[in-house]
């Protein structure tokens, strides 16, 4: 009574693999980057005829070419990292906060509002403290609204936080309309002459304070997630809500607390963007970083230390792409194609880190 | 005898080294209802899954209407006019009944939903179903969903119907309705196999009964010529001696007094119905019952995880001599009262432990709040992890291995070890040896016995009656959310417990 069915094993079978040794997984990633660069070279030669090596060196110069470029790169890196750190605790809790964009905007808006109304009528330090408090509060409120609905009625946080972004954009447009008498939709630099509420330059560097603040947040977040009781609770809730309930974690409280934290750091990013960088507010102040941050956070596996590296890769590619576009007189889209290819390979190689491909071997029939 | 609608010959199915079905042969005629009876894990569902194309037998043959059939996928089963109604419904929530019914059918004709409505109405009239074909699944009660599942297979023209524990989720009234429909289908010439372990249902609905035990075919009886006692004996089999040591309890006192607790599911099905019992210190109280009879809800109610509608759970604190009602308290409130309650839940990796965390972090689940300040102290849990690994001989590459990588037995040792390390006064364990090999099982029995000797009130929910009878001091049997009896484990038989287990809503069906 033997089995009468032919078992044909599929040609390619994918199976999950146990953890790779760390160096092997990094080898996979390096190979991916090399392959991406080779593919990009082919495309560069085919489409433009330029020497790819030249293009790459220009790309590197986009970030490291001059000390000004280096500072701008570090500043962009700091802002992206800050927002990525903000979404990380929420993501670790499996709360899909894609509303960082809006939370950053309302934080910036609160900062701008305090700058606009108080002007130079206050001690500069006090003013900055009030601005900071206002931005943190605005970010917290914006994040707590969807968190509350999630905790209370289990609403879908992805849609909710996404829609809160549009509300935030409209709020910014609305206030710019009120603040700018001419009816122009551009805010202009706030307190251009008095520089009231501007974060000070330190050591003659405009962005250094921003960068130091984000560095401090990075270290704090790393420690918070890995060594604090609250960080542990976040992991447990994220891994299994049933386990969390079983050991008596108040899941609702953790959701609210964590989203409050997430919103607060987004608010801080808004504050740094308005007070420390642009000194103005527009509807695009967050500039899509709220979404890019999600990628940074995932690629960095929610580990603050690795996220420094992943946000660097992304900022480096963005800066480099812009540089190629101007230097070679190429369309910006062409530069985007190159960064797209590189990112695709970097993200795609994680598949090979987590899974292995089994090709069908010799024997044709299963037993 | 005419040709059977479906006949199985010598079916064997193995999963790795586990034999789920061993040389099973049975047959069903057209116009007949066959009950498939057996305890949990006796291989009923596996056998039916092979008929419906989900699994493929390792050995043996299946004949449909006398012809040998090869069923490799559910679609083949459908071609042979076999329809299975699973225990867990497979329906799309946001679709209407009619949409779910036609889902996946591709007959090459142009799709017209009105034809579907007409045919569904036809089927309903023929067999006496009551269903609104326009209603969305998420608006339906459990019994309505089941009706949709049955119509779904009839719509596909099934002549052989398999129902996997169809009454487990139904109220007695709904069960009666279902049986009426099944009888009509039988009279229409369909062959029906119904999986169940409720004896009174077997007796009331089926024409013949086939019994499985531990994957093996025991025999087939004509329902009219048998009775509950005979069926129970076939189902539970002879007593097997396991030589589990058991000491005489001494100096027992009432530790946990549960009185009249009631709890309903959202659908209004009674999960717990007037459950009362006392767990005493220094003894092991076994809880026996068919899976899903309310064991989980009972333990979770005591642990503060399940809301109960009425009743009380009184804990007699041996230190302070106070009495506290644990009803509707959160796990934290229970601990703050000084109640040292440990709980080994059924779902080890989904509830008791976090699969992706390492052993140290899993040790911390119970104790991470200890100590002042906002930071974790990993030294103590690390020491505990090392101690459990060496005491219980946990096989692991190290304390930093995620627990999901450990084998089932080692996972359980980690969990039980942690719960015992909390020095409990009450220890609840749900199916602690499920899926474990013999050695690991005995390690767990020994741990429970040790706790008993230390004066802990142990509550042990088990499924193997031999184990329950040898390990426990008293056994409480529950069926359908009610306590059907509490027996002295030293003076009971498997048959007695088996009868109590199947005594759910006794007799209500035929009246």
Q: Please write down the HEC assignment for all residues of B25-77.
A: EEEECCCEEEEEECCCCCCHHHHHHHHCCCCCCCEEEEEECCEEECCCCHHHH
For A138-151, the pLDDT digits (tens) are 999 999 999 999 98
Cβ contacts (< 8 Å) between B61 and chain A: which residues?
1
How large is the average pLDDT for residues B107-118? 80
Closest Cα in chain A to B61: A1
Question: Where do the structural domains in chain A lie, given as residue ranges?
Answer: 81-308
Q: Is the confidence at residue A363, as pLDDT, over 80?
A: no
How large is the average pLDDT for residues B248-275? 85
Residue where one domain finishes, among candidates B422, B453, B473 = B422
Confidence of residue B102 (pLDDT cuts 50, 70, 90): confident
**Which residues 93-152 in chain A show a CB within 8 A of chain B?**
none
pTM: 0.75
How large is the average pLDDT for residues A18-34? 82
Confidence of residue A52 (pLDDT cuts 50, 70, 90): confident
Q: What long-range pairs does A248-256 form, CB within 8 A, spacing at least 24? A: A248/B304, A248/B330, A248/B331, A248/B332, A248/B335, A250/B330, A250/B332, A251/A151, A252/A151, A252/A152, A254/A93, A254/A230, A255/A93, A255/A95, A255/A147, A255/A150, A255/A151, A256/A144, A256/A147, A256/A148, A256/A151
**Placement of tokens 């089932």 in the chain:** B408
Query: Which structural domain, as residue segments, surrounds residue B457?
Result: 252-340+424-504
Q: Which residues of B31-70 are buried (b: 16+ CB within 10 A; e: fewer)?
A: bbbbbbbbbebbbbbbbbbbbbbbbebbbbbbbbbeeebe
For B6-17, the pLDDT digits (tens) are 888 888 888 766
Q: Is the confidence at residue B130, as pLDDT, over 90?
A: no
* Residues B228 and B259 occupy one common structural domain: no
Angle between helices B379-391 and B359-367 (to 10 degrees): 120
* Residues B410 and B443 occupy one common structural domain: no
A18 touches chain B (CB under 8 A): yes
Q: How far, in Å, CA of A24 to CA of A251, rounded?
A: 38
Predicted local distance difference test score (pLDDT) of residue B366: 86
Confidence of residue A220 (pLDDT cuts 50, 70, 90): very high
- Give bridge partners of residue B161 from the DSSP assignment: B83, B192
Under 8 Å CB pairs connecting chains A and B tally to 72
Asked if the structure places residue B241 within a domain, the reply is no
Predicted local distance difference test score (pLDDT) of residue B67: 85
* Residues B368 and B311 occupy one common structural domain: no
Handedness of CA A265, A266, A272, A277 (dihedral sign): positive
* Structure token pair of residue A37: 């660069």
ipTM above 0.90, yes or no: no
Q: Which residues of B446-478 are buried (b: 16+ CB within 10 A; e: fewer)?
A: ebbbebbeebbbbbbbbbbbbbbbbbbbbbbbb
Number of domains in chain B: 3
A228 touches chain B (CB under 8 A): yes
Predicted local distance difference test score (pLDDT) of residue B475: 93
How large is the average pLDDT for residues A342-349? 86
CB contact under 8 A, B343 and A246: yes
* Residues B266 and B401 occupy one common structural domain: no
For A325-341, the pLDDT digits (tens) are 888 877 778 878 888 88
Predicted local distance difference test score (pLDDT) of residue A19: 66
Cβ contacts (< 8 Å) between B364 and chain A: which residues?
232
Residue where one domain finishes, among candidates B422, B449, B479 = B422
* Residues B138 and B256 occupy one common structural domain: no
Q: Is the confidence at residue A128, as pLDDT, over 60?
A: yes
Q: Is the confidence at residue A365, as pLDDT, over 70?
A: no
Residue where one domain finishes, among candidates B208, B236, B264 = B236
* Structure token pair of residue B310: 């009425």
* Residues B272 and B334 occupy one common structural domain: yes
Residue A18 DSSP class: P
How large is the average pLDDT for residues B111-131? 85
Q: Is the confidence at residue B509, as pLDDT, over 50?
A: no
Nearest of B497, B455, B503, B499 to residue B479 by alpha carbon: B503
Residue A274 DSSP class: I
Asked if the structure places residue B103 within a domain, the reply is yes
CB contact under 8 A, A246 and B345: yes
Predicted local distance difference test score (pLDDT) of residue A2: 40
* Residues B70 and B180 occupy one common structural domain: yes
Q: How far, in Å, CA of B311 to CA of B259, rounded?
A: 6
CB atoms within 10 A of CB A330: 19
Q: Is the confidence at residue A264, as pLDDT, over 70?
A: yes
Q: What long-range pairs does B201-204 form, CB within 8 A, spacing at least 24? A: B201/B35, B201/B167, B201/B175, B201/B509, B202/B35, B202/B37, B202/B231, B203/B227, B203/B228, B204/B179, B204/B509, B204/B510
CB contact under 8 A, A232 and B353: no
Nearest of B33, B38, B34 to residue B502 by alpha carbon: B38
How large is the average pLDDT for residues A189-211? 80
Q: Is the confidence at residue A217, as pLDDT, over 90?
A: yes
Asked if the structure places residue B345 within a domain, the reply is no
Question: What average pLDDT is seen over chain B?
Answer: 85
CB atoms within 10 A of CB A185: 11
To the nearest whole Å, the CA of A235 is away from the closest chain B CA by: 9
Confidence of residue A248 (pLDDT cuts 50, 70, 90): confident
* Residues B304 and B370 occupy one common structural domain: no
**Phi/psi of residue B65, each to 5°?**
50, 40
How large is the average pLDDT for residues B242-264? 85
Least confident of A254-268, A292-306, A345-359, B115-129: A345-359
- Supply angle C-alpha B349, B353, B357, rounded to 5: 100
How large is the average pLDDT for residues B348-354? 88
Closest Cα in chain B to A367: B58
How large is the average pLDDT for residues B462-466? 84
For A135-191, the pLDDT digits (tens) are 999 999 999 999 999 988 988 889 999 999 999 999 998 998 888 877 677 777 887
How large is the average pLDDT for residues B75-95? 85
Cβ contacts (< 8 Å) between B59 and chain A: which residues?
1-3
Q: Which of A308-322, B164-178, B230-244 has the highest mean pLDDT?
A: A308-322
How large is the average pLDDT for residues B271-284? 90
* Residues B153 and B57 occupy one common structural domain: yes
Confidence of residue A203 (pLDDT cuts 50, 70, 90): confident
* Residues B278 and B325 occupy one common structural domain: yes
Asked if the structure places residue B246 within a domain, the reply is no
Predicted local distance difference test score (pLDDT) of residue A18: 66
Cβ contacts (< 8 Å) between A239 and chain B: which residues?
354-357
- A62 or B180, which is more confident: B180
How large is the average pLDDT for residues B480-485? 87
B357 touches chain A (CB under 8 A): yes
To the nearest whole Å, the CA of B419 is away from the closest chain A CA by: 11
Nearest of B166, B150, B149, B157 to residue B77 by alpha carbon: B157
Mutate to test the interface with A, among B336, B369, B370, B430 (most CBs of A within 10 A): B369
A17 touches chain B (CB under 8 A): no
For A99-121, the pLDDT digits (tens) are 999 999 999 999 999 988 888 78
Confidence of residue A12 (pLDDT cuts 50, 70, 90): confident
CATH number at residue B485: 3.40.50.300
CB contact under 8 A, A243 and B350: yes
* Residues B56 and B163 occupy one common structural domain: yes
CB contact under 8 A, B56 and A227: no
Confidence of residue A9 (pLDDT cuts 50, 70, 90): low
Q: Is the confidence at residue B396, as pLDDT, over 70?
A: yes
A8 touches chain B (CB under 8 A): no
CB contact under 8 A, B374 and A228: yes
Q: How far, in Å, CA of A296 to CA of A311, rounded?
A: 6
* Structure token pair of residue B240: 């097997």
Predicted local distance difference test score (pLDDT) of residue B61: 87
* Residues B31 and B140 occupy one common structural domain: yes
For A70-94, the pLDDT digits (tens) are 998 999 999 999 999 999 999 999 9
How large is the average pLDDT for residues A224-239? 92
**Given the DSSP bridges, would you call strands B270-280 and B254-264 parallel, antiparallel or unpaired?**
antiparallel
């Amino acid at each position: 009574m033997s089995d009468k069915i032919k078992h044909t094993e599929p040609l390619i079978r994918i199976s999950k693999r146990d953890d790779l040794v760390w160096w092997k997984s990094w080898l996979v990633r390096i190979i991916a980057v090399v392959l991406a660069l080779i593919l990009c070279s082919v495309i560069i030669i085919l489409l433009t005829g330029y020497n790819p090596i030249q293009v790459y060196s220009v790309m590197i110069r986009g970030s490291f070419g001059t000390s000004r470029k280096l500072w701008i790169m570090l500043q962009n890196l700091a802002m992206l990292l800050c927002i990525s750190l903000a979404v990380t605790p929420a993501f670790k809790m499996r709360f899909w906060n894609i509303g960082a964009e809006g939370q950053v905007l309302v934080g910036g808006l609160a900062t701008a509002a305090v700058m606009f109304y108080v002007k130079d009528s206050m001690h500069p330090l006090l003013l900055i403290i009030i601005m900071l408090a206002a931005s943190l509060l605005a970010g917290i409120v914006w994040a707590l609204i969807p968190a509350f609905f999630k905790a209370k009625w289990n609403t879908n946080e992805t849609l909710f936080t996404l829609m809160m972004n549009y509300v935030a954009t409209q709020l910014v447009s609305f206030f710019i309309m009120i603040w700018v008498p001419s009816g122009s939709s551009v805010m202009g630099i706030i307190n251009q002459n008095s520089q009231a509420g501007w974060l000070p330059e330190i050591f003659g560097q405009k962005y250094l304070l921003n960068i130091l603040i984000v560095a401090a947040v990075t270290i704090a977040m790393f420690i918070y997630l890995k060594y604090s009781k609250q960080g542990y609770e976040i992991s447990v809730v994220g891994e299994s809500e049933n386990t969390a309930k079983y050991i008596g974690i108040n899941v609702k409280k953790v959701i609210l607390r964590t989203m409050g934290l997430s919103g607060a750091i987004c608010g801080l990013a808004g504050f740094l963007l308005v007070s420390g960088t642009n000194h103005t507010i527009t509807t695009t102040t967050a500039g899509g970083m709220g979404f890019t941050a999600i990628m940074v956070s995932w690629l960095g596996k929610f580990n603050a230390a690795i996220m420094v590296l992943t946000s660097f890769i992304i900022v480096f590619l963005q800066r480099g792409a812009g540089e190629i576009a101007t230097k070679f007189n190429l369309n910006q889209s062409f530069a985007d194609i190159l960064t797209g290819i590189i990112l695709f390979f970097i993200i795609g190689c994680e598949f090979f880190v987590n899974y292995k491909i089994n090709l069908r071997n010799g024997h044709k029939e299963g037993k | 005898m005419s040709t059977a609608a479906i006949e199985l010959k010598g079916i064997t199915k193995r999963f790795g080294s586990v034999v789920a079905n061993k040389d099973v042969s049975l047959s069903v005629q057209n116009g007949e209802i066959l009950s498939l009876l057996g305890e949990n894990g006796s291989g009923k569902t596996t056998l039916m899954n092979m008929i419906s194309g989900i699994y493929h037998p390792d050995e043996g043959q299946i004949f449909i209407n006398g012809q040998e059939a090869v069923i490799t996928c559910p679609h083949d089963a459908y071609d042979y006019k076999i329809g299975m109604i699973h225990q867990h419904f497979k329906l799309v929530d946001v679709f209407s009944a009619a949409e779910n019914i036609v889902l996946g059918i591709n007959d090459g004709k142009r799709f017209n939903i009105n034809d579907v409505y007409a045919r569904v109405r036809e089927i309903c009239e023929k067999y006496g179903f009551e269903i609104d074909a326009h209603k969305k699944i998420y608006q339906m009660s459990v019994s309505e969903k089941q009706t949709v599942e049955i119509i779904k297979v009839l719509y596909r023209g099934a002549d052989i119907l398999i129902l996997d524990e169809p009454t487990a989720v139904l109220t007695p009234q709904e069960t009666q309705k279902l049986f009426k429909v099944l009888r009509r289908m039988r009279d229409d010439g369909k062959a029906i196999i119904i999986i169940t372990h409720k004896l009174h249902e077997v007796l009331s609905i089926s024409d013949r009964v086939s019994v499985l035990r531990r994957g093996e075919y025991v025999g087939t009886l004509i329902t009219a010529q048998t009775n509950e006692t005979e069926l129970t004996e076939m189902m539970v089999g002879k007593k097997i001696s396991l030589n589990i040591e058991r000491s005489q309890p001494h100096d027992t006192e009432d530790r946990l007094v549960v009185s009249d607790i009631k709890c309903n599911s959202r659908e209004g099905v009674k999960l717990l119905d007037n459950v009362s019992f006392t767990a005493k210190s220094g003894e092991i109280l076994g809880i026996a019952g068919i899976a899903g009879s309310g064991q989980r809800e009972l333990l979770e109610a005591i642990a503060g995880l399940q809301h109960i509608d009425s009743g009380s759970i009184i804990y007699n604190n041996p230190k302070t001599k106070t009495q506290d009602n644990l009803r509707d308290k959160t796990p934290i409130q229970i601990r703050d009262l000084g109640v040292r309650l440990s709980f080994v839940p059924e779902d080890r990796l989904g509830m008791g432990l976090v699969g992706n965390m390492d052993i140290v972090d899993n040790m911390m689940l119970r104790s991470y709040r200890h100590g002042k300040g906002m930071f974790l102290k990993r030294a103590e849990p690390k020491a505990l992890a090392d101690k459990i690994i060496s005491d219980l001989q946990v096989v692991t590459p190290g304390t930093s291995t995620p627990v999901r990588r450990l084998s089932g037995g080692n996972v359980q040792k980690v969990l039980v070890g942690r719960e015992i390390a909390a020095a409990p006064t009450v220890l609840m364990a749900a199916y602690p040896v499920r899926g474990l090999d013999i050695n690991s099982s005995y390690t767990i029995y020994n741990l429970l016995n040790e706790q008993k000797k230390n004066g802990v009130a142990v509550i042990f929910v088990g499924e193997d009656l031999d184990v329950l009878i040898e390990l426990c001091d008293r056994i409480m049997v529950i069926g359908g959310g009610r306590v059907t009896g509490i027996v002295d484990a030293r003076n009971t038989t498997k048959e007695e417990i088996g009868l109590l287990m199947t005594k759910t809503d006794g007799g209500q069906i035929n009246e």
